[in-house]
Amino acid sequence: MAGRCFEDWQMGDRLTHAPSRTVTETDNLLFSTMTHNTQPLHLDAEAARASEFGRILVNSTFTFSLCVGLSVSDTTVGTLVANLGFDKVVTPHPTFIGDTLTCHSEVIALRGSASRPQAGIVTFRHWMTNQNGAEVLSCQRSALIKRREA
């Protein structure tokens, strides 16, 4: 499904995005090294094994990026003018290699744009759950979205 125009959204709209995604060791390794994140908990199996988690933790900024990416096809693909900001990013539960993550979204605010009458601002709460239903990430995203009449 393509992204929706501003008029297509209503307060409280909720979506569960498909597909879900299983996180691989390669995902975590490439993302961590590509972003120069040298945290041993993400890269060093022995250091991670000695931690309270007992295994490698997936880089939380990968989890955040995956959450936004999984939401795009149903929310803003083809209708986005710009992402205006991301707020309240929290990771209440760790993500591990092999976890299968599902993204969910809810519209928590809607308003027209004063400076761009051809667009409106939709604020989403996105959250990710793992295969056990544990919430591993949540955030708010404010997006400037085209109006249908534009």
Give the single-character DSSP code of 96: B
Residue 33: the pLDDT is: 96
pLDDT, one tens digit per residue, over 97-109 is 999 999 999 999 9
Domain for residue 132, yes or no?
Answer: yes
**Above 70 in pLDDT, residue 119?**
yes
What confidence score (pLDDT) does residue 98 get? 98
- The number of angstroms, rounded, from the C-alpha of 142 to the middle of its chain's C-alpha atoms is 12
In a domain, 40, yes or no: no
Instruction: Report the alpha-carbon distance of residue 119 to residue 3 in Å, rounded.
Output: 14
Domain assignment of residue 53, yes or no: no
In a domain? residue 47? no
- Alpha-carbon gap, residue 35 to 121, rounded angstroms: 30
Please answer whether residues 56 and 96 qualify as being in contact, where contact means their C-beta atoms are separated by less than 8 angstroms. Answer: yes
Tell me, yes or no, whether 49 lies in a domain: no
- pLDDT reading at 1 higher than 60: no
In-domain check, residue 28:
no
pTM to 2 decimal places: 0.93
Q: How many domains does the chain have?
A: 1
pLDDT tens track for 68-99: 999 999 999 999 999 999 999 999 999 999 99
Domain assignment of residue 13, given as a range: 6-23+59-146
Q: What is the pLDDT of residues 15-48, one digit of tens each?
A: 999 999 999 999 999 999 999 999 999 999 999 9
Q: Is residue 91 part of a domain?
A: yes
pLDDT at 150: 55
Q: Is residue 106 part of a domain?
A: yes
